[in-house]
Structure 1
Amino acid sequence: MNRRLALAALLALAPAAASAGSPDPAGVWMRGDGNARVRIAACGDKICATNLWIGDTSGGESVGDRLVLTLAAKDGSTLAGTAYDPQRNLTYSMQMRVESQRLHTRGCILADMLCKSVTWSRAE
């Protein structure tokens, strides 16, 4: 469950997030624990975070799993909204703070009672 929350914490964008002046999380990111590499990019009219590589699949994560994000700018560096995980049919509340080389995500379920925060590094 924690790994799912970590991925959910990464994904949460929408076309509104891509507008001028909004933080842009697009790119490839490595999860802080080193166990996942994720690409954030447009997918149709949404933004998706897709697993490119998973080191330990025992937590239920697979290459190709994705989150469909619907986020809007909250301030100059933060996006907030939801992330939908179609593999598990779960929707998470999301908050994402974008820096040039770091991404800080927080994903929550169960009326924001169960949350997970993750820091990501931009992959080279």
Structure 2
Amino acid sequence: MTRLSVVSALALAVAAATGAAANEIDGTWLRDDGNARVRIAPCGDKICATNLWIGDTSKGEAPGDRLVMTLEKQPDGSFSGTAYDPKRERSYAMTITAKPGALVTRGCILGRLICRDVNWTAAQ
């Protein structure tokens, strides 16, 4: 019975952390290049970034594409974890830094050797 209580408490803590992350970064965001409008919101026990609109689809991005993230809040206020792109079957190390009305996302591959930062502003 004690083992079950510990497992339940851990599950609740993970759910609470995921919910807290979503509350601070959820919303609709515009990518700084003007080519994407994305909605970040909880999806089950994860956080999803879903393309609502894509201006230039030549790079394979399309409305409805989704990035599924598992993030934890860090002591510095950022969110860090992993992101999975089911369309491309790729996983990334992900960090999101939130400021009022803005986000910076950093996605990395190959053990964080290759990274890309993207700036986002809150959609009006």
* 1:19 match: 20
What amino acid is the match of 1:90?
R
TM-score by length of 1: 0.82
Distance in structure 2 (CA, Å) of the matches to 1:66 and 1:75: 27
Q: Is the aligned partner of 1:40 residue 2:40? A: yes
Aligned residues of 1:29 and 1:38 also touching (Cα < 8 A): yes
Aligned to 1:123: 123
Residue 92 of structure 1 and its aligned partner are, at CA, apart by 0.2
Give the corresponding residue for 1:82.
82
Moved over 6 A (4+): none
- Greater RCO structure (CA 8 Å; 6+ sep): 1
Over the matched positions of the two proteins, sequence identity in percent amounts to: 54
Q: Which residue of 2 aligns with 1:107?
A: 107
AA in 1 matched with 2:58: S
> 2:24 aligns to what SS in structure 1?
coil
Aligned Cα root-mean-square deviation (Å): 1.8
Structure 1's unaligned 5+ residue stretches are 1-13
Q: Which structure shows the bigger proportion of residues in helix conformation?
A: 2
Q: Report the residue type matching 1:73 in the other structure.
A: K
Q: Report the Cα distance in structure 2 between the residues aligned to 1:121 and 1:95, rounded to whole angstroms.
A: 16
Cα deviation code 1:67-99 (max 9, x no counterpart): 001000012530000000000111100110011
Q: Rg larger in 1 or in 2?
A: 2
2:113 partner amino acid: M
